[in-house]
């Protein structure tokens, strides 16, 4: 992940000064342990300034409004208490070439600063520190004790000190070409390494971009460069320094990240903060997606494995109980032929009541015929009770397995992160598993008390005749489609007795889908199911009014009637999805 370097931070600071100074602080909200939002108001606009000290994605920039969930963090409450209703009057670097900004708050614009909010963008050492006008730390996002850092502890009551200065020379526009070339090439080595080792303010991403703009290789040795190579590199070097000095930046996307200098840009963007906000939000979401998906897959695998073992045990015991009637028949046969029993017999052969075929009945030699029959009757009753007890347990376990396989099928479809919708869909699956008590989450709050700022939405497709098809991506969406979205004229599709998505073919009054539309929708239902690797899959479809949720059923579980069946081809659905893409 590309970090916010000194150049990017300088560009962000320049934009913030233009857009938000002066501004009144109206709200403070902390979203998580790494992110706090400042609600600002100027004469022209209102908005949110996000400050993040995330170890891999520390940044500050204007952002969308935070989600509407309760804020229970102490840090944000302290900021709100000290800075509420004050004016953000200045945004200044704390020192030359340092990746930290000083947000100064005053009673009124133009007055001396009452509070300093230091935002340090320094990788895993990033922090946000609030200090008073005497520079005494009042609170910090991350407290650093003397045991953790003897060089620079950060704790309440300490005087705020600058980060330890770096010893590398600072780049200067006034430095001559000859002096610059001499410094970079003094010790022959890889161009990338020599640039970063000899000057401050050069991140890895900036160095690679600079070298690429000069049409050179980062691993190229400095002693292999020709004079015109050095001239091109120095030209771009001075372009960089002029952009810093004049605050003239060209933000945009590159093939593997972003730039604020225009080098290697594939698409221009109007604001630096737009690029920064979108890039790091996407990267953090991607990380969270991978971690959450792994967690859910592992949990489901563990739970399903235990349930399948339990179901197998119940199945074996149920099969054993099926011989209960044989014990009763043997007992009846023995009681009807007491006269044929002899002392010490270990088995007796008697004609069957129905077929007259000889049946051999094992006997206990120390018991008489009546006692042996009573033992058979007792065993019959025992197995019959076991069958009556095990059958509902097996049904319950199989229903639980079917439900979790439905959840597993939804997760399998979410292989990679593409858009924020993917993470929202996965979040809803996690919340569902928490509500169903398969996951424990100490930070989880009841869904009735909190409401997510955004919800995921089903896939949308169009049939060859122009009809709309909706495909649920998780059980919340499945229930939404089936019991809320579906109209009286729509058709509901699902793979027959196979976990998969609920699929809805939207129809207007009087419209009748042709065979092509039905087959198209069935192919999508087969593709978005556990059987997507099969050649053919049986798909049922019916009117939504014939689909029901049994009392107490888990999310996404339904029963249906008056269904019709189609044979669908998952690979046809896959060909369309991959060829046309999906919309939301």
Cα–Cα distance between 10 and 12 in angstroms, integer? 5
| Confidence label for 117 from pLDDT (cuts 50, 70 and 90) | very high
Query: Mean pLDDT throughout 305-317?
Result: 92
In terms of Cβ atoms closer than 10 Å to its own Cβ (0-12, 13-18, 19+), residue 74 is: exposed
432, part of any domain: no
Higher pLDDT, 356 or 112: 112
Same domain, 391 and 487: no
398-436 burial: b if 16+ Cβ within 10 Å, else e: eebbebbbbbbbbbebbeebeeebbbbbbbbbbbbbeee
- 281 band by pLDDT with thresholds 50, 70 and 90: very high
Specify if 212 maps to a domain. Answer: yes
Same domain, 211 and 336: no
Q: What tens digit of pLDDT does each residue of 389-417 get?
A: 888 999 999 999 999 999 999 999 899 99
Q: Residue 519 above 70 pLDDT?
A: yes
Q: Does 72 lie in the same domain as 125?
A: yes
Q: Is 89 exposed, middle or buried (0-12, 13-18, 19+ CB in 10 A)?
A: buried
Q: What percentage of the chain has pLDDT greater than the value 70?
A: 97
At 318 the pLDDT is 81
Greatest Cα pair distance in the chain: 124
- Structure tokens that stand for 561 in this block: 């009637």
The pLDDT of residue 406: 93
E strand spans, 390-536:
459-462, 468-471, 491-495, 503-505
pLDDT at 444 over 50: no
The answer to whether residue 170 scores a pLDDT higher than 70 is yes
For the cut 60, the answer to whether the pLDDT of residue 453 exceeds it is: no
Provide the pairing of β-strand 100-106 with 87-93: antiparallel
Specify if 290 maps to a domain: no
Q: How far apart are CA 487 and CA 10, in angstroms?
A: 55
pLDDT at 157: 95
Say how many domains are in the chain: 4
pLDDT-derived band at 450, boundaries 50, 70, 90: very low
Same domain, 482 and 564: yes
CA dihedral in degrees (266, 270, 272, 277; nearest 10)? -90
- Which alpha helices (H) appear in 266-419, and where do they start and end? 272-321, 324-336, 369-413
Does residue 130 sit in the same domain as residue 181? no
Which of 360, 380, 400 terminates a domain? The answer is 400
Average pLDDT of span 433-442 = 85
Select from 168, 21, 174, 163 the least CA-distant residue to 92. Answer: 21
pLDDT value at position 4?
95
Final residue of a structural domain among 86, 116, 140: 140
pLDDT bin (cut points 50, 70, 90) of residue 451 is very low
Average pLDDT estimate for 2-15: 96
Q: pLDDT by residue (tens digit) across 142-153?
A: 999 988 888 899
In a domain, 308, yes or no: no
One domain, residues 181 and 258: yes
**Domain that residue 377 falls in:** 319-400
Task: Examine residue 339 and state whether it is found in any structural domain, yes or no.
Answer: yes
Note the pTM of the prediction, 2 decimals.
0.79
Q: Which residues of 320-335 are buried (b: 16+ CB within 10 A; e: fewer)?
A: ebeebeebbbbbebbe
Cβ-defined contacts of 60-64 (< 8 Å, 24+): 60/12, 60/16, 60/101, 60/119, 60/121, 61/12, 61/272, 61/273, 61/276, 61/277, 62/16, 62/19, 62/20, 62/273, 62/277, 63/37, 63/277, 63/281, 64/277
Q: Which residue has the tokens 């109206």?
A: 26
Q: Determine the average pLDDT of the residues in 518-530.
A: 95
Q: Is the pLDDT of residue 543 over 60?
A: yes
381 band by pLDDT with thresholds 50, 70 and 90: confident
Average pLDDT over residues 113-122: 96
Residues 125 and 223 placed together within one structural domain of the fold: no
Q: Is a pLDDT exceeding 90 seen at residue 484?
A: yes
User: Is 556 a domain residue?
Assistant: yes
pLDDT of residue 386: 79
CATH number at residue 211: 1.10.8
Reply yes or no on whether the pLDDT at 445 is more than 70. Answer: no
Tell whether 159 is covered by a domain.
Answer: no
Is residue 278 in some structural domain? no
> If phi over 0 gives left and psi between -120 and 50 gives alpha, with beta otherwise, what is residue 201?
left
Choosing from 212, 237, 270, the residue where a domain stops is 270
Q: How far apart are CA 88 and CA 131, in angstroms?
A: 14
Residue with tokens 């100074």: 21
Residues 14, 133 within the same domain = yes
Q: What's the pLDDT at 581? A: 54
**Are 25 and 136 found together in one domain?**
yes
Mean pLDDT for 173-182 is: 95
Task: Report the CATH number at residue 73.
Answer: 2.30.310.10
Q: What is the residue-averaged pLDDT of the chain?
A: 91
What's the rounded mean pLDDT across residues 299-326? 88
263-268 contacts at long range (C-beta below 8 A, 24 or more positions apart) = 263/209, 263/210, 263/212, 263/213, 263/236, 264/209, 264/212, 264/213
Dump pLDDT digits (tens) for 263-275.
Answer: 999 999 999 999 9
Q: Mean pLDDT across the stretch 339-345?
A: 90
Are 495 and 559 in a shared domain? yes
Indicate if 387 and 480 belong to the same structural domain: no
Same domain, 253 and 328: no
What pLDDT, on the 0 to 100 scale, is given for residue 203? 92
What pLDDT was estimated at residue 454?
62
pLDDT band at 345 (very low <50, low <70, confident <90, very high): very high
């Amino acid at each position: 992940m590309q970090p916010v370097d000194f150049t990017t931070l300088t560009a962000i600071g320049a934009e913030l000064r233009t857009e938000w100074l002066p501004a009144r602080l109206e709200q403070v909200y902390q979203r998580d342990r790494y992110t706090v939002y400042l609600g600002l108001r100027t004469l022209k606009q209102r908005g949110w300034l996000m400050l993040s000290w995330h170890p891999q994605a520390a940044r500050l920039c204007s952002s969308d409004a935070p989600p509407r969930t309760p804020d229970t963090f102490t840090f944000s409450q302290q900021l709100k208490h000290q800075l509420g209703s004050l004016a953000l009057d200045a945004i200044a670097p704390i020192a030359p070439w340092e990746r930290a900004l000083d947000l100064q708050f005053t009673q009124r614009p133009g007055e001396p600063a009452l509070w300093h909010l230091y935002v340090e963008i320094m990788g895993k050492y990033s922090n946000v520190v609030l200090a008073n006008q005497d520079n005494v730390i009042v609170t910090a996002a991350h407290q650093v004790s003397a045991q953790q850092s003897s060089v620079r502890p950060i704790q309440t009551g300490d005087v705020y000190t600058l980060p330890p200065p770096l010893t590398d020379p600072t780049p200067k526009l006034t430095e001559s070409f000859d002096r610059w070339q001499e410094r970079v090439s003094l010790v022959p080595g890889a161009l990338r390494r020599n640039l970063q080792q000899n000057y401050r303010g050069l991140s890895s991403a900036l160095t690679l971009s600079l070298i690429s703009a000069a049409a050179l290789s980062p691993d190229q040795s400095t002693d292999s460069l020709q004079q015109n190579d050095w001239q091109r590199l120095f030209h771009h070097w001075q372009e960089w320094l002029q952009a810093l000095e004049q605050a003239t930046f060209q933000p945009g996307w590159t093939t593997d990240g972003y730039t604020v200098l225009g080098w290697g840009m594939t698409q221009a963007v109007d604001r630096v903060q737009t690029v920064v906000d979108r890039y790091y939000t996407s990267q953090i979401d991607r990380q969270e997606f991978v971690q959450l998906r792994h967690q859910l897959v592992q949990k489901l695998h563990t739970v399903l494995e235990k349930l399948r073992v339990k179901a197998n045990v119940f199945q074996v015991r149920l099969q054993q109980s099926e011989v209960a009637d044989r014990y009763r028949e043997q007992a009846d046969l023995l009681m009807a032929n007491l006269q044929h029993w002899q002392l010490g017999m270990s088995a007796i052969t008697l004609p069957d009541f129905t077929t007259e075929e000889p049946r051999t009945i094992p006997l206990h030699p120390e018991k008489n015929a009546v006692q042996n029959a009573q033992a058979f009757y007792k065993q019959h009753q025992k197995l019959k009770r076991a069958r009556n007890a095990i059958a509902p347990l097996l049904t319950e376990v199989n229903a639980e397995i079917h439900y979790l396989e439905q959840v597993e099928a939804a997760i399998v479809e979410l292989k990679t992160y593409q858009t924020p919708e993917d993470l929202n869909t996965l979040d809803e699956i996690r919340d569902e598993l928490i509500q169903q008590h398969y996951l424990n989450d100490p930070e989880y709050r009841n869904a009735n008390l909190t409401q997510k700022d955004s919800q995921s939405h089903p896939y949308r497709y169009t049939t060859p005749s122009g009809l709309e098809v909706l495909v649920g991506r998780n059980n919340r969406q499945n229930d939404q489609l089936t019991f809320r979205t579906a109209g009286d004229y729509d058709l509901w599709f699902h793979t027959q007795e196979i976990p998969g998505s609920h699929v809805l073919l939207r129809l207007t009054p009087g419209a009748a889908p042709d065979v092509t539309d039905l087959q198209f929708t069935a192919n999508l239902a087969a593709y978005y199911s556990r059987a997507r690797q099969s050649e053919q899959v049986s798909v049922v479809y019916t009117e939504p009014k014939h689909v029901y949720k049994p009392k107490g059923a888990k999310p996404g579980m339904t029963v249906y009637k008056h269904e019709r069946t189609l044979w669908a081809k998952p690979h046809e659905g896959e060909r369309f999805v991959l060829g046309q893409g999906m919309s939301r």
